[in-house]
Amino acid sequence: MEPLDGTDKVDVARLWTVDKLNASSCSIPSEQDARQWPHLRDIKLPSISEKEVQLIIGTNVPDALWVLEERHGNRGEPYTICTPLGWTLMGPMERSIGEDCHLNVNLVRSAEALREDDDCLMHQLERFWAAENSGVIPESKVSMSVEDKEALAIMKQSVKLEDGHYQIALPWKRYPPFLPYNRFMAECRLQTLKNGLLLDSELLENYKATMEQYLSKGHARRVPLNEINVQD
């Protein structure tokens, strides 16, 4: 997958197909919708002639859902996020449903019993819902995984009391850890944080006060310019 301007690309390792997605084209936002809100007026939403929803991107493709930038207003108002595939607008739109638009309620059922190797639509939907709800819907009587036990062991073995504070080691899966070069992602997140703080003066003041506490208590320090190793 790639955005309309072709500036990025996201690989989809596995997907499922159906003959038709019963999704209303009336839910597709336009640039005119965004202009109703002051915080979204400079967002460019492309207009395309194709109005049929042909692809649903789930959490099994996390690369497509990276938040590179975001714009939000007050609570209850729509907001936008910029992903590698472009801008996405979410939230309520102040527009009425026209004559060509109508609400749909769809029921998907299978009349035959599912076999283990049956790749029918219901089986596909069950796997999709399981992926979407992973970590959201709590499960009862879930035992610790091997990774959880290893992480707990690392923390128990490394815990120590120093200067009145407890310290534990980070539970890396491999040591020494592999830390890829992520300056681009860090700068994107920094810019997103900056944009959010500039839109909320109260949050900005609280953020500044918290950072000053970190500095005064020695939990953080300003890095001198001569210690900064900049890599391009």
On whether both 185 and 132 belong to a single domain, the answer is no
Query: Given a cut of 90, is residue 116 above it in pLDDT?
Result: no
On whether both 126 and 174 belong to a single domain, the answer is no
Read off the pLDDT of each residue in 66-90 and give the average, rounded to a whole number: 83
Residues 11, 76: Cα–Cα separation, whole Å: 34
Residues 81, 68: Cα–Cα separation, whole Å: 7
Instruction: Output DSSP code: residue 83.
Output: E
On whether both 103 and 7 belong to a single domain, the answer is yes
- pLDDT given for residue 207 in this prediction: 93
On whether both 72 and 164 belong to a single domain, the answer is no
Residues 115, 125: Cα–Cα separation, whole Å: 15
Among residues 11, 90, 5, 21, the alpha carbon closest in space to that of 56 is found at 21
Residue finishing a domain among 142, 158, 178: 142
On whether both 137 and 72 belong to a single domain, the answer is yes
Domains: count for the chain: 2
On whether both 152 and 212 belong to a single domain, the answer is yes
If one compares 142 and 204, the residue with the highest pLDDT of the two is 204
On whether both 120 and 168 belong to a single domain, the answer is no
- pLDDT given for residue 111 in this prediction: 44
HSE-up of residue 75 (Cα within 13 Å, Cβ side): 0
Cα three-residue angle 10-14-15, rounded to 5 degrees: 95
On whether both 102 and 180 belong to a single domain, the answer is no
Evaluate whether residue 232 is within a structural domain: no
The widest CA-to-CA distance across the chain, in whole angstroms, is 70
User: Model pTM?
Assistant: 0.37
Domain enclosing residue 168, as ranges: 146-227
Among residues 59, 58, 52, the alpha carbon closest in space to that of 22 is found at 52
Evaluate whether residue 48 is within a structural domain: yes
On whether both 179 and 71 belong to a single domain, the answer is no
Band (101; pLDDT cuts 50, 70, 90): low
